[in-house]
Structure 1
């Protein structure tokens, strides 16, 4: 069970604001939790719900053991209602059912909470029904609307709710979360540098792609500097076949950029921040024969390759031009 302290590590701005409201008993009647997937919106909504109902809480921290906390964890608290999309959208009848439920007196207390996941997927009629409910709730209620697309909510819904922006996770926190989910440290370090969005991460990790790409990048860059006659063959046989779509191609260039940045970090004494820490011995070998100026020029070549890719240049041509540019051909 996460604590408020742990959740504050994830969202250092949102959590203190909520805690202060809890301490002063000044919670708004409705909140919009807006932010990317994986930023802790649902976890913080559940923690707030437990703090709201827990009768044994210590300050703002719910006990986690009482009947209320256990029921909320199991999803069967009678005064807590969760709404998720029914198919592709949240429909009017779901909101109307919620309104009907809230006309009844609270089973465990006089208060009720409802949490709407993917609130931006409400149909127009559902959003209008919710608007009436926000304006005239049948009983003391707390509404938590979770969304990745705040702009898709009705302006009137937004204006009647307290909006809290969930910022993308820091790279270190994101890497830790990936490791908690079973990913290796080396892969999580790399992915956290490329993206802190779980949906993007899931795509890059399909079929263990990130592990394959990482291995080939290491081979490709090693050959580029130590066995240059082999590098175009490796590009053709191993790199191009695994970089099939635009996201993979962009991520591949990001990996090359990060590999070069690690080499520069070795040159400048920052070996504790490597994204490819298992390559430190090779970096130190290469650092003896290449200058910081050259590495900086090679980094610029990768950035130019990224611009060419974004301009829809053929990926094979982008990569060939990049490798030849680094080789000074």
Structure 2
């Protein structure tokens, strides 16, 4: 269980808005929580339900000990209803069942809370059905709709809900979230440096692509600093075979940028935030071979390579020119 203060560490803006609303006892009848997976939407929704029902509320903080708080924590409160997609979508029948619940008096009080997960997956008929509740708000009923794709929510639903946008997780919480999702610690650190979108992470880890890409980047950097005669062979045999389309090639260049940034961190003795966390020995050795100014030039060369890639220059030519530029400068 989390407190509002703990949740504020993850989503300070959202929690500040809700805290001020709770203090004034002016909760909206419906909220639309928008944000990528892992940003705390469901935790905040359940905490809001606790504050709504708590029998011993301390200002805005639910006590976590009363019967209502404990039932919500364990998912068995009779007046808190959670709807999730049935298969690939939320169907009209699920919303109709919810509407029947609207008509009943709360089992233990007049209050009710409805939490709809993946609200963008409502079928058109389901979305239109839920509008009835949103168009006829009841002060004793609270609805929270959650989505990762706010643009896919009907404008009529958006206009009848208070939108709260959940920011991407900060680096350290995002790393821990990825680890909890079963991603290795080494890959999690690199992924958290590349993106804050869990959807993009899911694409990158498919068929272990990120691990293969990471391995190629490490090999290329080892050869740049130790076996430069092998560079062109590795570009032809490994790099082009791993980074196949423009999107992957751009990610590869981003990974090179992160390597040079890690070298700068190693140069400065700051190894706490490196992206390639298992390569500290190599980073420290390579950092001895370059000045900060030279590393900055290397990073500028990678950024120039990204521009060339966007201009549709041949990817092999881009990489060969980049490696030559780095060797010379």
Same-fold status (TM-score > 0.5): yes
Deviation at 1:182, TM superposition (A): 4.8
- Measured against aligned partners, the alpha-carbon deviations of 1:137-167 in whole angstroms (never above 9, x if no partner) come to 4672101111222233233322222111111
Q: In structure 1, list runs of 5 or more residues that go unmatched.
A: none
For the Cα contact (< 8 Å) 1:110–1:139, is it kept in 2? no
Residue 161 (structure 1) aligned with residue 161 (structure 2): yes
Q: Could you say which residue in structure 2 is the equivalent of 1:3?
A: 3
Residue 227 (structure 1) aligned with residue 210 (structure 2): no
Q: Could you say which residue in structure 1 is the equivalent of 2:37?
A: 37
Deviation at 1:269, TM superposition (A): 5.3
Q: Could you say which residue in structure 2 is the equivalent of 1:18?
A: 18
- Cα distance in 1 for residues equivalent to 2:254 and 2:194: 7
- Cα distance in 1 for residues equivalent to 2:308 and 2:82: 46
Q: Could you say which residue in structure 2 is the equivalent of 1:124?
A: 124
- Cα distance in 1 for residues equivalent to 2:90 and 2:285: 58
- Cα distance in 1 for residues equivalent to 2:154 and 2:180: 36
Q: How does 1:33-182 map to 2 (within 5 A)?
A: 33-137=33-137, 140-182=140-182
Deviation at 1:257, TM superposition (A): 0.7
CA gap 1:290/1:6 in 2 versus in 1, 3 angstroms: same
Deviation at 1:244, TM superposition (A): 4.4
Could you say what secondary structure the match of 2:146 adopts? strand
CA gap 1:245/1:58 in 2 versus in 1, 3 angstroms: farther
- Measured against aligned partners, the alpha-carbon deviations of 1:266-319 in whole angstroms (never above 9, x if no partner) come to 445544433234434433433343333332232122223333444555544443
Number of matched residues? 329
- Cα distance in 2 for residues equivalent to 1:286 and 1:123: 55
Q: Could you say which residue in structure 1 is the equivalent of 2:239?
A: 239
- Cα distance in 2 for residues equivalent to 1:247 and 1:47: 39
- Cα distance in 2 for residues equivalent to 1:286 and 1:50: 53
Q: In structure 2, list runs of 5 or more residues that go unmatched.
A: none
TM score, norm. by length of structure 2: 0.87
For the Cα contact (< 8 Å) 1:38–1:197, is it kept in 2? no
For the Cα contact (< 8 Å) 2:134–2:160, is it kept in 1? yes
- The 10-residue stretch of structure 1 (175-184 or 92-101) with the greater mean CA deviation from structure 2: 175-184
- Cα distance in 2 for residues equivalent to 1:56 and 1:236: 67
- The 10-residue stretch of structure 1 (62-71 or 39-48) with the greater mean CA deviation from structure 2: 62-71
For the Cα contact (< 8 Å) 1:102–1:139, is it kept in 2? no
For the Cα contact (< 8 Å) 1:95–1:130, is it kept in 2? yes
- The 10-residue stretch of structure 1 (124-133 or 105-114) with the greater mean CA deviation from structure 2: 124-133
Deviation at 1:27, TM superposition (A): 1.0
- The 10-residue stretch of structure 1 (316-325 or 215-224) with the greater mean CA deviation from structure 2: 316-325
For the Cα contact (< 8 Å) 1:232–1:320, is it kept in 2? yes
Could you say what secondary structure the match of 1:13 adopts? helix
RMSD (CA atoms): 2.7
Could you say what secondary structure the match of 2:61 adopts? coil
Could you say what secondary structure the match of 1:274 adopts? coil
CA gap 1:181/1:37 in 2 versus in 1, 3 angstroms: closer
- Cα distance in 2 for residues equivalent to 1:60 and 1:182: 35
- Cα distance in 2 for residues equivalent to 1:182 and 1:6: 23
Deviation at 1:245, TM superposition (A): 5.2
Deviation at 1:259, TM superposition (A): 0.3
Q: How does 1:176-191 map to 2 (within 5 A)?
A: 176-191=176-191
Deviation at 1:105, TM superposition (A): 0.6
Q: Could you say which residue in structure 2 is the equivalent of 1:192?
A: 192
Q: Could you say which residue in structure 1 is the equivalent of 2:304?
A: 304
Q: Could you say which residue in structure 2 is the equivalent of 1:201?
A: 201
For the Cα contact (< 8 Å) 1:103–1:138, is it kept in 2? no
CA gap 1:313/1:65 in 2 versus in 1, 3 angstroms: farther
- Cα distance in 2 for residues equivalent to 1:4 and 1:180: 22
- Cα distance in 2 for residues equivalent to 1:2 and 1:130: 30
For the Cα contact (< 8 Å) 1:187–1:210, is it kept in 2? yes
- Cα distance in 1 for residues equivalent to 2:31 and 2:304: 43
